[in-house]
Structure 1
């Protein structure tokens, strides 16, 4: 949800709009309770506005079929005003005037009896709910066709006539989604830097994650986005930002031994064998601070070790992408042991919610990568003192640029008889965007033994891909590769490109529960932080120079030997990059 500044903190607005509601239903909706739409027999619809900003909104729609199974469905409604669907996911959406049609396709094209299909979309205009829905021509009123329904029971005069069916959790109480019903922490150091940029005040109050990328960051080391504030200082500030809602502060735990074995730009301070220092000087210190009683009312979301565990699958052994460093980290086991220790120690703290980083679709989206990566996640979650209960969920696209949704094609589409998967861009990947990948990874994780209530985070800080180069409609070409090139909103040379990408824009604003299985869209990577230097720059942070950050580099096997697409004149990783911030602002989608 769009963060609104109020008394120096970000407030998230959450509203559920439901069609055809009675007065009782309206009262429940005002309390934030999900109420099914009572507008037709044989089906019911829940229409949820999860995010609203000045020029638009995000809505999720859940349709439940109460009749016979349907193979191929269409849900139709009329908007009450001038709303326009701008892009959607998990359904094909079309609009004529105020009338909208959403059609199931691919994996959710059929709905069994009592089955549910879910989809979502972004729209322009206000978020007022439609009054009525129909499924395959049948008006949805939630009815079952019972000719003699039971009458309403006589109320008990001793009971509360209007009980709260979903009371707000007490401060510090464990919750299913730590982003729901909470304000997100606004880092004052990043906020000040953003506000100092031309036009940056428009997003300066957005919540971003705090990165602990070395031991010194715990106490404060004057880094660009933590300043001289240490972890305790930021937690104190989060407590100060709290009002009538709890505050969720997001902390990236990022300092494994031999960190980022396949990318030099984000190498770390600890050598490959320094697992002891990682535990005692880094994780133990972080855990001791977070476990302080004065922070017990906060919700602390930790993103555990970006770009680590998947390397043990994709960049080792006989693969042509293997590196000597990754082979070493697989052999010594310190990635798995380090992540397991972080999960165990931080997972013991009641108000800490661990999200394990799980790469992105352009890295892990092939079957040969996804299943084996989840196996490594499971190994880390069951090593030493760690258990699956220490994993609240997974984070994808952290500090990356993969599009949240590709609005103009799905992976199952065909062009002139050829599958989208066959295109040079998709390259037989099972996914074309982050949302479908995140939902599939969640299902795979549950199938391998992770808890069924895990949630996903998607980093949307730099994957908007707006601006004049963004396609507004599908290509009309019958040539597969031309169609994909002219239709895709992700404008990188290759999905493997990760460093300071030219043309990128801010993505969806931080949003709570935007889609099935997704806890939040989150700005984990603070916009304006460099991914790595464009040339070798000496530094005392252990960060090297990676050719993928050189604008003149022509690529390697990990990015299909494509140009790097990196911006010039970039500082070392984590340092403020004004030119990148300005480009992200100019190319934001939704626009700022």
Structure 2
């Protein structure tokens, strides 16, 4: 899993520039569309204010010809008024201009019909109400409330609504203490939300001494084969839970969100062996019909519309098409095959289109990590192929809520003592063996920069990034507390880097690793959350060949005696001994991860 991949040779630095547009509360930046000749509208805008914030309730009434879609536009009177979080529409803000585009279920407005939408906002100084509104570019009545309460439009009866308007008004004295109404898509699904605790992982964690300190942390559920969709008969306690079991348990817990890793592409993980999957490279139709479609059927069940379902889409897939095909060091026949037949691009596109059709589902696509994609030759080409996949098989960029980096990997979140901007005796530290001319030396700086590149490639400016921090803490007695000696760039970097791996190309069951930052929402600019996508204690791969029926191969990078290859600079693998197959419980690793946690466990 997560083999380090890059092109060989030293690179010269290329400056990366760009500004990240701030868009609050919405999914996409939407222009007001051209006016329809017979559009006429009536808009009511009311607010409940408190110091520094407010909730706005907006009713749009169609008094012209029937509409099949609509876009509301208005301008905040004050430059300090900001959209924070909206519901029942796709909201965005640019400068003082605000737009809201209908959801799939409330776009049809017959003559005389209306729909209610709303948002939470912030203000300073004053909070004047907008005085002019447009629908599809036509000016409405300037915000005067209708003389009577119009009927609220309802979704089609054949498809359960995936979003509902707010059911109550928050008190005027204090801001709302809960997220917008259940079932509505929000800008950041992790914000002010309680995550689902997987009872299966919790039991394993508590089987190790001290595991109860972390056992109530939300971790992702990996759906890595077709059989994992349904699971087995838990009434006999003889097998794993399926997707519906986990969703039912999430409802029982009262969780706000649940995380699934969607991980079963044809020819999966084409440059590694430990995490190969059950589907052959030519089995895209089976992937669609027997894997993605059943998952979509469960996640789209109206029973679950009040929980935020977060999907992490196909770890270690699309970047392989850039770095591990013919012409690259370590290129494989399998990577050539899935690039040529479109299995990865079309498979990811199909997953995004099917799962992203529900307004309570959030898709985050895997985007490698800095030690794989941080070179100029990999950075932009990977963003471009992510865009290609996001617009394949019926998907659009709006089916992508964001991206995740460092999934199941060990790259340090922040390197406080070894920054790429540092120099030693006039020599840039990017020349060091560890950094090797990479533009980045930690995950957070990479994720923030890669987000800007993705926006430049055409993704909405509202996308957010996730960083898997489950195993990148690197604490314990070997964690540096200052930069290394300034003898040369290598002593400086090696003495001060908190990532203590032998080489950044090492990815399997790394010795000395520790749990990282606990899951946290909105920890930094552009970052939706730190998450534990890889449940700590689940093996990356077996340290020796172990026969199994799950399609898991033996990768020498998981063998502690392996002396390496081109991908890791012919270094020792750094892997722990006595590891089981990937995904199986590895108690010794879990104990070490706790011991080396940073921040330390209490």
TM-score by length of 1: 0.72
Residue 439 of structure 1: aligned partner:
448
Q: CA deviation at 1:193?
A: 0.6
Question: Is 1:555 aligned to 2:567, yes or no?
Answer: no
Question: Is 1:395 aligned to 2:404, yes or no?
Answer: yes
Retained in 2: the 8 A contact 1:210–1:226? Answer: no
Question: Is 1:236 aligned to 2:245, yes or no?
Answer: no
Question: Is 1:369 aligned to 2:378, yes or no?
Answer: yes
State the secondary structure of the residue aligned to 1:456: strand
Retained in 1: the 8 A contact 2:53–2:175? Answer: no
| Distance change in 2, residues 1:546/1:417 (3 Å) | same
Aligned partners of 2:423, 2:571: CA distance in 1, in Å? Answer: 25
Retained in 1: the 8 A contact 2:313–2:366? Answer: yes
Aligned partners of 1:577, 1:265: CA distance in 2, in Å? Answer: 15
| Distance change in 2, residues 1:226/1:367 (3 Å) | farther
Q: CA deviation at 1:475?
A: 1.8
Residue 23 of structure 2: aligned partner:
none
Q: CA deviation at 1:544?
A: 0.2
Residue 333 of structure 1: aligned partner:
342
State the secondary structure of the residue aligned to 2:493: helix
Question: Is 1:172 aligned to 2:172, yes or no?
Answer: no
Retained in 1: the 8 A contact 2:544–2:559? Answer: yes
Aligned partners of 1:297, 1:465: CA distance in 2, in Å? Answer: 37
Question: Is 1:217 aligned to 2:208, yes or no?
Answer: no
Retained in 1: the 8 A contact 2:515–2:594? Answer: yes
Aligned partners of 2:268, 2:228: CA distance in 1, in Å? Answer: 16
Q: CA deviation at 1:228?
A: 2.4
| Distance change in 2, residues 1:240/1:27 (3 Å) | farther
Q: CA deviation at 1:166?
A: 9.1
Q: CA deviation at 1:373?
A: 0.4
Deviation by residue 1:379-399 (Cα, 9 ceiling, x = unmatched): 101112000000000010000
| Distance change in 2, residues 1:322/1:527 (3 Å) | same
State the secondary structure of the residue aligned to 1:183: coil
Residue 450 of structure 1: aligned partner:
459
| Distance change in 2, residues 1:469/1:340 (3 Å) | same
Bigger relative contact order (CA 8 A; separation at least 6): 2
| Alpha-carbon RMSD | 2.9
| Distance change in 2, residues 1:370/1:234 (3 Å) | same
Question: Is 1:305 aligned to 2:314, yes or no?
Answer: yes
| Distance change in 2, residues 1:222/1:508 (3 Å) | farther
Residue 325 of structure 2: aligned partner:
316
Q: CA deviation at 1:269?
A: 0.4
Q: CA deviation at 1:474?
A: 1.3
Question: Is 1:196 aligned to 2:207, yes or no?
Answer: yes
Aligned partners of 1:426, 1:227: CA distance in 2, in Å? Answer: 44
Q: CA deviation at 1:478?
A: 2.8
Deviation by residue 1:402-447 (Cα, 9 ceiling, x = unmatched): 0000011211111111111110000000000000000011000000
Residue 100 of structure 1: aligned partner:
none
- 1:150-299 → structure 2 map (5 Å cutoff): 162=173, 164=175, 168-221=179-232, 227-242=239-254, 247-299=256-308
| Distance change in 2, residues 1:290/1:167 (3 Å) | closer
Aligned partners of 1:205, 1:151: CA distance in 2, in Å? Answer: 42
Deviation by residue 1:103-150 (Cα, 9 ceiling, x = unmatched): xxxxxxxxxxxxxxxxxxxxxxxxxxxxxxxxxxxxxxx99xxxxxx9
**Aligned residue pairs, count:** 449
| Distance change in 2, residues 1:476/1:196 (3 Å) | same
| Distance change in 2, residues 1:228/1:479 (3 Å) | same
Q: CA deviation at 1:350?
A: 1.3
Residue 427 of structure 1: aligned partner:
436
Residue in structure 2 matching 1:494, options 476, 499, 503: 503
Residue 125 of structure 1: aligned partner:
none
Retained in 2: the 8 A contact 1:241–1:247? Answer: no
Question: Is 1:541 aligned to 2:553, yes or no?
Answer: no
Question: Is 1:459 aligned to 2:468, yes or no?
Answer: yes
State the secondary structure of the residue aligned to 2:466: strand
Deviates more, 1:259-268 or 1:317-326: 317-326
Q: CA deviation at 1:328?
A: 0.9
Aligned partners of 1:560, 1:408: CA distance in 2, in Å? Answer: 23
Aligned partners of 1:573, 1:167: CA distance in 2, in Å? Answer: 38
| Distance change in 2, residues 1:29/1:418 (3 Å) | farther
Q: CA deviation at 1:247?
A: 1.3
Aligned partners of 1:172, 1:217: CA distance in 2, in Å? Answer: 25
Aligned partners of 2:271, 2:316: CA distance in 1, in Å? Answer: 9
Deviation by residue 1:39-80 (Cα, 9 ceiling, x = unmatched): xxxxx9xxxxxxxxxxxxxxxxxxxxxxxxxxxxxxxxxxxx
CA radius of gyration, larger in: 2
| Distance change in 2, residues 1:30/1:532 (3 Å) | farther
Residue 504 of structure 1: aligned partner:
513
Retained in 2: the 8 A contact 1:190–1:226? Answer: no
| Distance change in 2, residues 1:347/1:479 (3 Å) | same
Residue 513 of structure 1: aligned partner:
522
Deviation by residue 1:134-187 (Cα, 9 ceiling, x = unmatched): xxxxxxxx99xxxxxx9999xxxxx99647489730011110001112110000
